[in-house]
């Protein structure tokens, strides 16, 4: 398949020969660190460098000896799915002293290491930068002591450092998401979902304490993801008198028929005067003021443990490869950089700029400049806080604006996890903006049958964590029933439409746009939010539901691979969903450590299949015991899953045996992941705000009606690289392959070479997006907060 344009790196001309790269994990552990270590090792070896593990973080660097060991390809083969860090992490007081750093420099020089890849928090990265600045002085000192030869100063003149942030707190400025955060959110949401069922049974209030001594990200995002009644975070302490307001809110929720309350407290939560607000203080307050049966659950180190999520594995793998590229391209004058995520892109930022901004947040909090602390924390954090306030705290009827507009919300296409979170968000934002919100059951089929009713604030309580589509969804397109739908629009006086769905939703909007010429009822603002596990909607890099499906694939692949542990060598052929779109097979393959992924977008023939079998046979003759091959369901009509299974079985005889699995609809089911809950919540809130703006713009005072017939009044809201963008659907037609229901260009195809490199294939790697060093901006590119990073 043709590679995208851009500067490309080939195995032959990107050389790390003669270079030695060391990787270490430092500070607190985080899920996904092993995926980053694996990516650094394999990419380093791929480009011909020597790669070393430094065990036990900086302590291992100071102690030297057996702590610094050369890494092998096979040595990282089963660590992708393991939580924590298998090379160990330790806090090291000795490295903070000059003598400690002198020992560390000596140990690195002994192995010829001048490239360091540090995975840790801001403390670990600051220490690495200091070490780099002192490097030449340390070498001179070692020569004076007679410990190293004089020519070593010239030979190892500069120490190059690239950082990756591993921290479950997401407390590092400059990156939208740190390695481990998404997995920690998974742990929290699993607990919250479990607690909600028991709280419901006994009509209890639960106070959950989550990690975050100096950063409230986990508390805030988990509150958004589960629709918590109240959240307490260190960056934005509640106003004085919060105790009474909180109790009023809890009481009002109960009076509307809810049987439970959830309060989430960050461990570092404080009031406006800097006094700690603990989970036990909150519990005592609720019991004393309201008499509710209240329990406290402190999650503790559960949040750090367990298997990394699909998101963290992909993030860490991308960052690990980018870190090696950054080390290869660095010069003596390049400042230490950190590999970050902005929107959907890897970027490189000067390490100390990020550290300084992170320290600024703490300084602002210490000086009680809380609004500034939230701003410096980044757009993503600020946007999360605004969205939470908008959805959790209902204004009294008297304070609501009255717009006299009716807005209908419907789901179209196949169900996708996170749809319900998107509906809840739209309904509540719409009500806050003064609109009358109408829910349409069963998509356009329900629409033309008149299954339309008003939906209130309380009706969508508890929807965020529910899988599938509670409104009901069908694949029916509107064109055949345009007359009846127009009649219903007239009958219910519908002034705007919000459609949440997949490719059918996109087709529906195109059909309604065409029907405007015949039916004036369709001349209203219409917007679509992409929601499909296949992630095949043009105009958006991501769709609601795709992350949940990826996690289902990754978890299943982990279990399938584990089923062969201790048995003879085995290869698994796994079929994924996605129609003609290879997103799930490719990105699921990257997250699960697949050896190959067959997709429609990258045509393959019998020679490719043969090459893959031979490649696996070679690998199986070494210590690798298990192979994993993914196939998208429509990748090729002749090379079916059965055909590939039979081919591998025949050609692998005597070396490995084969098993096949078709994952089917389990990829579509289950509770939505934290990412899908938050992405759905935020993108839908933004769509609703766009509708409100368009309604005001297109309202005609003369006849008191809304009339919108321009192209930009019928849009798709999608995530493009670093931003959320409204795009007229008519303009997306040229970008779409309607026969195969996929966009003509897809960003994730650039991840395929990465998957191949990590599976030991020689391939070209397109780095047209790879980082030139950027600078940290206090206000990142507009809307980057709506990024992949939630």
Identify the DSSP state of 140: H
Catalytic residues: 169
What average pLDDT does this structure show over 574-594?
A: 97
3-state secondary structure (DSSP) of residue 263: strand
pLDDT digits (tens, 9 = 90+) for 53-83: 999 999 999 999 999 999 999 999 889 999 9
In this structure, which long-range contacts are made by residues 724-728, counting pairs with CB atoms below 8 Å and at least 24 apart in sequence? 724/683, 724/686, 724/783, 724/786, 725/539, 725/783, 726/527, 726/690, 727/539
Contact in structure between 304 and 178 (CB atoms under 8 Å): no
pLDDT at position 733: 96
Residues of the chain with pLDDT > 70: what percent?
95
Query: How far is the C-alpha of 533 from the C-alpha of 536, rounded, in Å?
Result: 8
pLDDT digits (tens, 9 = 90+) for 211-262: 999 999 999 999 999 999 999 999 999 999 999 999 999 998 898 888 889 9
What average pLDDT does this structure show over 144-170?
A: 92
pLDDT at position 769: 57
Query: How far is the C-alpha of 8 from the C-alpha of 383, rounded, in Å?
Result: 36
pLDDT at 15 over 70: no
pLDDT-based confidence at residue 626 (cuts at 50, 70, 90): confident
Query: How far is the C-alpha of 688 from the C-alpha of 708, rounded, in Å?
Result: 16
pLDDT at position 649: 95
Query: How far is the C-alpha of 177 from the C-alpha of 174, rounded, in Å?
Result: 9
pLDDT at position 201: 86
Other CB atoms within a 10 A radius of the CB of residue 621 amount to 11
Backbone angles phi, psi at 27, to 5 degrees: 75, -150
Query: How far is the C-alpha of 374 from the C-alpha of 353, rounded, in Å?
Result: 18
Say if pTM beats, i.e. exceeds, 0.75: yes
pLDDT at position 771: 59
In DSSP notation, 5-22 reads SS-EE-TTTS--TT-EEE
Looking at 330-401, list the stretches that DSSP marks H as alpha helix, in order from N- to C-terminal side.
351-366, 370-377, 379-392
Q: At what angle do helices 310-329 and 583-592 cross, to 10 degrees?
A: 80
Burial-class residue 665 by CB neighbours within 10 Å (0-12, 13-18, 19+): exposed
If you count DSSP H runs as helices and E runs as strands, how many of each does the chain have, helices first?
23, 29
Contact in structure between 736 and 530 (CB atoms under 8 Å): no
Q: Which of 320, 233, 501, 382 is nearest to 789 (CA)?
A: 382
Dihedral, CA atoms, 501, 507, 510, 516, nearest 10 degrees? -80
In DSSP notation, 597-653 reads EE-TTS---HHHHHHHHHHHHHHHTTT--EEEEEEETTS-SSS-HHHHHHHHHHHTT
Sign of CA pseudo-dihedral 236, 238, 239, 240: negative
pLDDT at position 380: 85
CA-to-CA dists, residue 665 to 67, 415, 475, 529, 652, angstroms: 46, 10, 16, 22, 30
pLDDT digits (tens, 9 = 90+) for 640-670: 999 999 999 999 998 999 999 999 999 998 9
pLDDT at position 623: 66
pLDDT at position 396: 77
pLDDT at 779 over 50: no
User: Which of the residue ranges 130-144, 415-429, 579-593, 775-789 would you say has the lowest mean pLDDT?
Assistant: 775-789
Burial-class residue 408 by CB neighbours within 10 Å (0-12, 13-18, 19+): buried
731 vs 623, higher pLDDT: 731
Q: How, if at all, do strands 115-120 and 160-165 pair? A: parallel
Report CA Rg, the chain.
Answer: 27
pLDDT at position 321: 94
pLDDT-based confidence at residue 722 (cuts at 50, 70, 90): confident
- Please enumerate in sequence order all residues whose Cβ is within 8 A of that of 445, keeping only pairs 6 or more positions apart, or say none: 474, 476, 481
Query: How far is the C-alpha of 180 from the C-alpha of 516, rounded, in Å?
Result: 48
pLDDT digits (tens, 9 = 90+) for 724-768: 999 999 999 999 999 999 999 999 999 999 999 999 888 776 655
pLDDT digits (tens, 9 = 90+) for 97-133: 999 999 999 999 999 999 999 999 988 999 999 999 9
pLDDT at 783 over 60: no
pLDDT at 6 over 70: no
pLDDT digits (tens, 9 = 90+) for 366-387: 999 999 999 999 888 999 999 9
- Please enumerate in sequence order all residues whose Cβ is within 8 A of that of 388, keeping only pairs 6 or more positions apart, or say none: 220, 223, 224, 231
Structure tokens at 421: 């979170």
pLDDT digits (tens, 9 = 90+) for 488-524: 999 999 999 999 999 999 999 999 999 999 999 999 9
pLDDT-based confidence at residue 690 (cuts at 50, 70, 90): very high
pLDDT at position 9: 47
Query: How far is the C-alpha of 526 from the C-alpha of 546, rounded, in Å?
Result: 23
pLDDT at position 404: 84
3-state secondary structure (DSSP) of residue 111: coil
Residue at token pair 């994990």: 25
Q: Which of 57, 87, 63, 59 is nearest to 75 (CA)?
A: 87
Structure tokens at 286: 């609720």
CA-to-CA dists, residue 281 to 192, 261, 286, 296, angstroms: 20, 16, 9, 10
pLDDT-based confidence at residue 772 (cuts at 50, 70, 90): low
Sign of CA pseudo-dihedral 644, 645, 649, 650: negative
Average pLDDT of the chain to the nearest whole number: 91
Other CB atoms within a 10 A radius of the CB of residue 716 amount to 25
What average pLDDT does this structure show over 624-630?
A: 87
Other CB atoms within a 10 A radius of the CB of residue 502 amount to 29
614 dihedral zone (left: phi>0; alpha: psi -120 to 50; beta):
alpha
3-state secondary structure (DSSP) of residue 716: strand
Q: Which of 657, 376, 675, 653 is nearest to 535 (CA)?
A: 675
């Amino acid at each position: 398949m043709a590679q995208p344009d851009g500067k490309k790196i080939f195995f032959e001309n990107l050389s790390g020969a003669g270079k030695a790269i060391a990787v270490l994990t430092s500070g607190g552990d985080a899920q996904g660190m092993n995926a980053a270590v694996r990516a650094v090792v394999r990419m380093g070896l791929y480009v011909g460098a020597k790669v070393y593990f430094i065990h036990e973080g900086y302590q291992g660097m100071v102690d030297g000896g057996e702590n610094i060991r050369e890494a092998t390809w096979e040595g990282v083969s089963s660590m992708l799915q393991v939580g924590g860090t298998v090379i160990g992490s330790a806090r090291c007081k000795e490295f903070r002293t000059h003598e400690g750093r002198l020992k560390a420099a000596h140990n690195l020089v002994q192995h010829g290491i001048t490239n360091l890849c540090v995975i840790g928090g801001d403390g670990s990265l600051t220490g690495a930068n200091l070490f780099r600045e002192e490097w030449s002085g340390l070498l001179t000192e070692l020569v004076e002591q007679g410990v190293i030869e004089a020519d070593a100063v010239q030979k190892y003149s500069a120490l190059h450092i690239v950082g990756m942030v591993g921290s479950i707190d997401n407390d590092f400025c400059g990156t939208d998401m740190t390695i481990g955060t998404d997995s920690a959110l998974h742990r929290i949401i699993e607990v919250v979902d479990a607690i909600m069922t028991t709280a419901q049974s006994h009509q209890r209030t639960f106070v959950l304490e989550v990690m975050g001594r100096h950063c409230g990200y986990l508390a805030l995002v988990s509150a958004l993801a589960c629709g918590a009644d109240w959240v307490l975070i260190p960056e934005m302490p509640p106003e004085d008198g919060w105790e009474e307001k909180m109790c009023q809110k809890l009481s009002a929720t109960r009076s509307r028929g809810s049987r439970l309350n959830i309060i989430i407290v960050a461990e570092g939560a404080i009031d406006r005067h800097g006094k700690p607000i603990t989970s036990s203080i909150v519990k005592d307050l609720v019991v004393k003021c309201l008499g509710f049966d209240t329990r406290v659950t402190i999650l503790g180190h559960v949040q750090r443990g367990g298997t990394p999520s699909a998101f963290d594995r992909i993030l860490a793998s991308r960052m690990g490869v980018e870190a090696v590229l950054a080390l290869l391209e660095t010069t003596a004058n390049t400042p230490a950089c950190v590999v970050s995520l902005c929107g959907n892109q890897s970027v490189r930022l000067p390490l100390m700029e990020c550290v300084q901004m992170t320290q600024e947040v703490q300084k602002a909090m210490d000086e009680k400049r809380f609004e500034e602390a939230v701003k410096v924390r980044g757009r993503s954090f600020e946007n999360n806080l605004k969205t939470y306030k908008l959805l959790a705290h209902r204004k009294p009827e008297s304070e609501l604006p009255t717009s006299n507009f009716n807005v209908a919300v419907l789901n179209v296409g196949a169900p996708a996890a996170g749809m319900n979170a998107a509906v809840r968000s739209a309904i509540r934002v719409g009500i806050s903006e003064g609109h009358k919100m109408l829910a349409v059951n069963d998509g356009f089929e329900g629409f033309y049958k008149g299954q339309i009713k008003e939906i209130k604030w309380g009706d969508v309580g508890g929807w965020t964590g529910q899988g599938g589509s509670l409104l009901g969804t069908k694949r029916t397109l509107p064109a055949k029933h345009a007359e009846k739908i127009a009649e219903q629009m007239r009958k219910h006086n519908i002034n705007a439409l919000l459609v949440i769905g997949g490719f059918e939703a996109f087709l529906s909007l195109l059909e309604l746009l065409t029907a405007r010429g015949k039916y004036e009822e369709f001349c209203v603002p219409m917007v679509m939010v992409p929601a499909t596990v296949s992630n095949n909607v043009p105009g958006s890099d991501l769709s609601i539901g795709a992350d949940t499906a990826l996690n289902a694939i990754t978890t299943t692949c982990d279990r399938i691979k584990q089923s062969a542990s201790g048995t003879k060598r085995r290869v698994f052929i796994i079929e994924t969903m996605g129609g003609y779109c290879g997103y799930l097979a490719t990105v699921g393959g990257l997250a699960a450590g697949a050896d190959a992924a067959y997709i429609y977008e990258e045509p393959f023939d019998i020679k490719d299949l043969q090459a893959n079998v031979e490649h696996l046979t070679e690998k199986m003759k070494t210590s690798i015991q298990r192979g994993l091959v993914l196939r998208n369901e429509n990748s090729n009509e002749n090379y079916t899953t059965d055909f590939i299974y039979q081919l591998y079985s025949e050609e692998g005889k005597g070396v490995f045996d084969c098993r096949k699995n078709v994952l089917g609809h389990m990829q579509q089911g289950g509770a939505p992941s934290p990412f899908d809950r938050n992405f759905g919540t935020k993108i839908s809130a933004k769509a609703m705000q766009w509708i409100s703006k368009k309604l005001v713009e297109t309202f005609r005072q003369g006849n008191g009606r809304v009339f919108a017939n321009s192209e930009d009044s019928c849009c798709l809201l999608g995530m493009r690289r670093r931003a959320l963008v409204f795009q007229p659907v008519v303009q997306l037609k040229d970008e779409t392959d309607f026969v195969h229901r996929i966009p003509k260009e897809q960003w994730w195809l650039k991840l395929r070479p990465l998957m191949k490199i990590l599976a030991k294939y020689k391939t070209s790697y397109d780095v047209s997006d790879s980082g030139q060093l950027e600078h940290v901006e206090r206000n990142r590119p507009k809307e980057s907060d709506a990024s992949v990073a939630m």
